[in-house]
Amino acid sequence: MTDWQVWVDTGGTFTDCLALSPNGDLRRCKVLSSSALRGRIDSTVDDLSFDVVARWPEAADFCRGFGLRILGEQEHTIVTQYDPKKKRLRVTEPLAGLSPGVAIELFTGEEAPVLAARVVTETPADQPLPQMSMRLATTRGTNALLERKGAPTALFVTKGFGDLLLIGDQQRPDLFALQIEKPAVLYTAVVEVDERLDAQGQVQRKLDPAQLAPRIRKLVEAGVRSAAIALVHAYRNPSHELDLAAFLIEQGMENVSISSQLAPLIKILPRAQTAVVDAYLTPVVGAYLDRVESALGGQDLHVMTSAGGLTQRADYRTKDSLLSGPAGGVAGAAEAARRAGFERILTFDMGGTSTDVARYDGDFDYNFEHRVGDAHLVAPALAIETVAAGGGSICSYSGGRLRVGPESAGAHPGPACYGAGGPLTVTDANLLLGRLDATQFEIPVSIEAAQAALDQLQRQMRDDRSGGADASDHEVLAGLIAIADDRMAAAIRRVSLERGVDPTQFALVSFGGAGGQHACGVASRLGIDRVLIPTDAGLLSARGLGAAAIERFAERQVLRLLSDIEEDLPTWFDELAAQSKGAIVNEGVPASLVAVRRRLLNLRLRGQESTIIVDADGGPPAETFVDAYVSLYGHAPPSRPIEVESMRVVASTDLADVPVGRSMTTASGPQQRRVWAADGWREVDAWPREALEAAIEGPGLIFERHSATFVAAGWTASVGDEGSLLLECTDKRSGAETAGTPQPEAVRLALFTHALESIAREMGTALQRTALSTNVKERLDFSCGVLDGVGRLVVNAPHIPVHLGALGLCVRTVSSSLELKPGDTAITNHPGYGGSHLPDVTLVTPVHGETGRLLAWVASRAHHAEIGGTRPGSMPPDATRLAQEGVVIAPRHLVREEHVLWEDLEALLASADCPSRAIDENLADLEAALAANHRGRAALQDLARHHGEDVVAGHMDALRQEAAAGVRHALGRLADGVYGAREELDDGTPLEVSIEVDGDTARIDFGGSGDVHPGNLNATPAIVYSALTYVLRLLVQESLPLNEGLLEPVEIVIPPGILSPPFDTDEAPAVGGGNVETSQRLVDTLLKAFGLMAGSQGTMNNTLFGNESFGYYETVCGGTGAGRQFAGADAVHSHMTNTRITDVEIVERRYPVRIERFEVRTDSGGQGRWCGGEGCVRELTFLQDMSLSLLTQHRNHGTHGLDGGEAGAPGRQRWIRADGTVRELKAIDGVEVGPGDRLIMETPGGGGYGAVEASCEKPEEQKAG
């Protein structure tokens, strides 16, 4: 070998580098990603000469030509000489402030990978780098995306969808934020293109690019020279996109990202997002790589992709590499595991900013859609789960709980111990517990600064009094470590247990700068008894670059039944193989060194959205799919046809072997260190890794240059032949590292809150993944909750607010009317038993402990788009009686003594007066909900076994009391008195509330509200409780669990009438609109009384259409109300719903409709000092005869303004027949439509806040277009 081999991973805080010299030496370094080396002035020789404390290369005059500045300052001087033996440097000019103890930085102005290459090759700044081949993983694209520092970009999109990315999936990111902050769009301008393809890819309107020429010229003249193209159904026919791209280049665009080339798959929204991200970042990242390549003198440069493979610089696409650093770590872990003899591993990469975890089971596990920041990308990536808990995660205290993350101290100021004014972090906690050696850091650190940050946290806890005022420093620090360990273990569960994999059957490979300090604690929480810590664990992502293969993916969208095309699969795989292998050969790699590594099929049941990836070489596809389904969900799939969603081929070169090379440390033998262990402060051996030969028992420490490993009590550590450390659990009774340590209540509450929230979230994940319907899988119209033994909601997954406050009342009512024993599950949708409306079906499962004690309940509620009724969709607008809305399920057993009564339920669904039109789909979704409840029950039982039944019950009660205290505090901030408000439904029915605040309690009386509604706008007490729970949570404005403790400080009075109708007769009133419409109006009424914000759209704009062969349901976004100091948000769901809108291409492929436009409705928000948010316009063309039902509000009058603000524009909906006649539709209406008929729905805008001034204040990113 004649050239250097340099492998560089640039992370958020540090840049890691490993290099193989021409003579085979392995060198390593770690520099700051800000492209600087740090040190400290030790003494002054003269005005131009200084002795320093630093860990810089030992080569003479290495620092020559570097700039030198005081940390945090801009003024600098230039280094002219450096004597590594004396650690003495000389500069060209004096620099004010250079004195002993001052922290300094050296820099060259080059990118961090170039600086790292200089360090490992010991090349001064005034000399060119030697001959080398560099492999690079970088966060430059990710950082530019997160920091919004990309290139000015124009989006070219099909006419009618100019606001596609602004609306997104219409969900709001935070359920409980009064001020909704939607992610800002990345593009500078959007251009609507007058063209259209249908769902089969046939041209409906031809493209004429020349019409766009004037607009394109103006963009280019304004400096917008990067473009993204995303046209509807281009995945079926890319011709329009390709023609437009060629025209844009002719007109002066320098970079064009084409959605059908980047992601030739169905769904316009993620495809457009991918194209925009690629266009936005390519100029920035390209320039960065150009600078690196220039510093290399044009030498070989390969870049790591998010999928763990390498691509040459010329073929690099930004959208493929935003997770390249974490992917390098997984590749490095896989290489280390192979050397150590492990085939099945879970990777644990804990860095400075976050922790990445993944699974490797003989090969990589992939995702083909993933998120980075706010962006949804369609691109192959390793299935990596990221949690915002790293060494730099900020440790804080609020709401009676200690917290770790998600905020990070970053590279600057960094942890408190860096001495740059940073906050207390996990790194500081480990340092103060004795688990890190200050002399092993690459930069000078201050234990005193870390202690000062801890003292500040302790003062905050003492002032609060509820968090454990008497907690010692070590108890707080150990608690912070436990919280961090718990969050990271939860991430590993998401890549193992939630994918049907038992983590105890895997070894944990721990790496990253902070991984070794937490490996034992994380493994113990997962029941893993073997941990592998590779050589260069602190630099493993860089090592993974050396081991990685050159790799290419080729993919094909299929969307056909497996039975129809199974014979074609071999031919299609051969075509993809030739494509992927050819791309590698074109790099100059000999064809003999390239092979197909994977043939993958994405399979699913017909009608499902989520797919299961199976290996096409693993046997007959149908059998492989069934096996994978059983492994993932625990039961066989229902008898439905299997669909091939897509297929992929992965071609690559062989994986490389990387020399083991040893990292030298300064010590020659073990030293004694005082360390906090599970049972208190201990004097333990601290070993340099190079000196460790025999196995040691924990507690103990093992140090190396770039990382440290804490061996907990009950664990041993030994060194394998290949140099890796193997940690093995010898005493499972030791449990997590903090076992036996007294924990402050602030720690215990944090840990149990996280555990219970994780259970509810895992229930929701199981339900979504297993369900069949679009309504559950895509729109996410479901909720899951954990309740205490009395049936009070304790914690929930953050799903749909209108469901959540009702779950407790439902559980209590059902359990009082039906005996439920261990192993039973009840089912109901009856509004008289805590239900909302008939499509929302609830499953209730008791959770018993080993003693037989009723510990808790779990419940799930999902909206079924079809459950009978007089019209498809089960929300007939003209219903007056409950039975007209569908099948009524009074509380009954779905499961009795572990036996599922499917036949009984199927008979009920089929025999009602208005039976369900989709029984198979009903049963499939109920099977998914039942699986979710079973998962929640098992997790709670495990929690009780581990901690004790009394402890679990006690912490459930503490969470409820925490929520109650939050409401008491919020009410206490209000002046005593009566707060009232009145609103009217579109038909004049009043909703009225009077809130009498007395100290920290309130009486909330809904007297004055209307009588029983003659139509379907009747609500139920459960809905009232949901609305009130939601509003009180908004009033608190703190991160509290949404549970029934929020209602404890209030007395609720609900008189008979529209909010509490009778359900004990055969003539029970209809309620279909009460859940979706009255609930929204009720929330606005309560918020008006409290004066928190102006009215939001006050409706869900329910749209249902279908016939005897299908049914479809969607809710449509609108504007939200403004408040003090904030404008309303445009085109987003508000308050009691947060369902996704189904992608245009999915809708058009599955149903006989065409969506003509979906855009922001300009000038619909109410004027004011702060303007209300804009509604939207959604236009549909129907292609067959079908029924259309609309269930809406605010069509007769607009949403109210507040404090002088004006009302938002009312909604409007028109039926335009194929012959051109127009009919205005009522707020609640139903018609029969035919081919060519259109619906144009304009949704309400939000109300304004404050008297109108010269102009409305609205953040720029909230403006359409």
> Please, are residues 242 and 258 in contact by the beta-carbon 8 Å criterion?
yes
1226 secondary structure, DSSP code: P
Q: What is the DSSP string of 464-495?
A: HSTTTTT--HHHHHHHHHHHHHHHHHHHHHHH
- Residue 1182's pLDDT is 98
In the chain, domain spans:
4-144, 145-159+194-320, 551-652, 1095-1265
Least Cα distance to 781 among 1100, 1148, 1157, 1144 occurs for 1100
Alpha-carbon gap, residue 768 to 776, rounded angstroms: 6
3-state SS, residue 508: strand
- Going from the first residue of the chain to its last (1265 residues), give the mean pLDDT of each consecutive group of 10, the final group possibly shorter: 88 86 90 89 94 88 92 92 92 92 92 94 91 92 87 98 96 91 93 97 96 96 97 97 98 97 95 96 93 89 94 90 88 90 90 84 88 87 84 84 82 82 91 84 80 90 66 88 88 76 89 87 91 86 91 94 96 96 92 94 85 90 92 76 95 84 57 85 86 86 83 91 87 54 70 84 82 70 90 80 79 95 96 90 95 94 90 87 94 94 95 91 90 92 89 89 91 96 97 97 97 95 92 86 89 96 88 93 97 97 90 94 96 93 94 97 96 98 96 96 97 97 96 97 98 64 39
26-32: strand order across its sheet:
26-32, 14-20, 4-10, 132-138, 301-304, 310-312
> Please, are residues 134 and 15 in contact by the beta-carbon 8 Å criterion?
no
Can you say whether the dihedral through the CA atoms of 896, 902, 908, 914 is positive or negative? Answer: positive
Count of positions (residues) in the chain = 1265
Q: What is the DSSP string of 862-919?
A: EE-S---SSSTTS--TT--BGGGGS----SEEEEETTEE-HHHHHHHHHHSSS--S-H
Can you say whether the dihedral through the CA atoms of 764, 769, 774, 779 is positive or negative? Answer: positive
Dihedral (Cα; 734, 735, 736, 738), 10-degree rounding: -40
Q: 1021-1036 and 1079-1090 are packed helices; what angle lies between their axes, rounded to 10 degrees? A: 40
As beta bridge partners, residue 465 has: none
CB-based contacts of 723: which residues, under 8 Å, 6+ apart?
A: 534, 535, 660, 662
Integer angstrom CA distances of residue 308 from 320, 496, 563, 579: 10, 19, 33, 19
274 secondary structure, DSSP code: H
> Please, are residues 531 and 727 in contact by the beta-carbon 8 Å criterion?
yes
Which residue do the tokens 């010329």 mark?
314
Alpha-carbon gap, residue 780 to 555, rounded angstroms: 28
Alpha-carbon gap, residue 637 to 644, rounded angstroms: 15
Alpha-carbon gap, residue 972 to 798, rounded angstroms: 27
Q: What is the DSSP string of 190-246?
A: EEEE--EE-TTS-EEE---GGGGHHHHHHHHHTT--EEEEE-TTTTT--HHHHHHHH
Integer angstrom CA distances of residue 764 from 497, 703, 940, 944, 1015: 14, 42, 15, 21, 33
3-state SS, residue 640: coil
1153-1161: strand order across its sheet:
1153-1161, 1175-1182, 1238-1242, 1212-1216, 1222-1224
- Residue 1169's pLDDT is 95
Q: Containing H/E element for 83?
A: strand 76-83
> Please, are residues 557 and 632 in contact by the beta-carbon 8 Å criterion?
no
- pTM of structure: 0.87
> Please, are residues 860 and 783 in contact by the beta-carbon 8 Å criterion?
yes
Which residue do the tokens 């524009």 mark?
1209
- Residue 1257's pLDDT is 58
- Residue 741's pLDDT is 54
> Please, are residues 1144 and 1158 in contact by the beta-carbon 8 Å criterion?
yes
Q: What is the DSSP string of 1197-1221?
A: SPPP-BTTPPPPPPPEEEEE-TTS-
- Residue 661's pLDDT is 61
Q: How far is CA 1253 from the centre of its chain?
A: 39
Integer angstrom CA distances of residue 869 from 865, 910, 939, 962, 1077: 11, 12, 37, 42, 19
Least Cα distance to 736 among 941, 433, 947 occurs for 947
Burial class (CB in 10 A: 0-12, 13-18, 19+), 495: buried
- Residue 1262's pLDDT is 40
CB-based contacts of 484: which residues, under 8 Å, 6+ apart?
A: 389, 393, 404, 405, 426, 518
CB-based contacts of 608: which residues, under 8 Å, 6+ apart?
A: 643, 771, 772, 777
Alpha-carbon gap, residue 647 to 556, rounded angstroms: 5
84 secondary structure, DSSP code: T
Alpha-carbon gap, residue 332 to 537, rounded angstroms: 9
Q: What is the DSSP string of 993-1043?
A: EEEEEETTEEEEE-TT---S-SSS----HHHHHHHHHHHHHHHH-S----S
